[in-house]
Amino acid sequence: MYVYLNLIQKKGLQLPGRFGEIKVFSGTSHPKLSNDVCTNLGIELSKAEIFKFDNDNTFVRILNNIREQDVFVIQPTDKPTNDNIMELLLCMDAAKRASAGRVTAVIPYFGYGRTDKKDQPRVPISARLIADIITTAGADRILTIDLHAPQIQGFFNIPVDELTATPILVDYFKKMKKDFVVVATDVGISKKARDFAARLSSPLAIIEKRRSDNSGNVELLNVIGDVKGKTALTFDDEIDTGGSLVQAIGALTISGVIEVFSCATHGVFSGDAIEKLSSIKILKEVVVTDSLRKKDGNGKIKYLSISSLIAEAISRIQSGRSVGELFK
């Protein structure tokens, strides 16, 4: 999949691009991922000074010459979400003022992604506001992974490349050689779950649910599809508090599944999510990517690396090659 990038690495070269060489910077949200991306690119992580003053103001200073270079700032915007967003904005502004040729915001996990529409009176569309702020701060393009809602791409007036971790997850579960039934944890994710199931050559079931309030509490309705006596593989874009997943597993247990595996691109794991999931005997493994920093937990949580995927996308963006071809 990444033959072209590997060839460039072996020769110690960077591909020519309109905006000079690749310069990758990291915020403080996930420096390990940034370092892994640079390892895959065969370059060093560019240096920046980032800290907070005693008054809680954030300071950013870029320590490398990036004039007319192709700058990529890697920063998932998870908890503390507002701090991480602010860091990203300041890094991009600093890059622009340092005469960077182009600035790409690499946001593996897009915070506020679940507030993508006005679903009740007098509420903001936070995802749209964040998109506007990121663009104003100086981003020329966005690189992200598995947005909660595809319409978020349209909130930006700049190019957006949305990668997907689906092939990475599919490859992992194919090696298990189990007869899974893929279970979409709600109707909204069913389209992506259908593609996931097709890649696994597995049938699809859907859990119909509705949220009862703004706190994230969920009232499950029913399981649509035949799951009795089967191994269920739940699929979602993220696992946050784990409440939805716990109730989904409960519904699947009542419907007669023999064991459950779960997967998602983003392992947010807020609060006691890992403890809740670890206590469920029928749940054998929870598989997520390292789009966010790893959380402490027991052996049920498995992390898959996305650093090579991001590195290949960065290489393609810099050299003007298609990013979409990665998933054909």
CA 214 to chain centre: 23
The secondary element (H helix, E strand) that includes residue 219 is strand 218-224
The question of whether 209 is a catalytic residue gets the answer yes
* Axis crossing angle, helix 31-41 with helix 307-319, rounded to the nearest 10: 60
312 with 141: CB under 8 angstroms? no
Query: Contact, 186 vs 148, CB < 8 A?
Result: no
User: Which residues 6+ apart lie within 8 Å of 29 measured at CB?
Assistant: 75, 76, 77, 78, 84, 87, 293
Check 11, 209, 276, 302 and give the catalytic one: 209
Q: Which two tokens stand for residue 112?
A: 């506020």
Strand pairing category for 180-184 and 204-211 = parallel
Residues classed as catalytic: 209
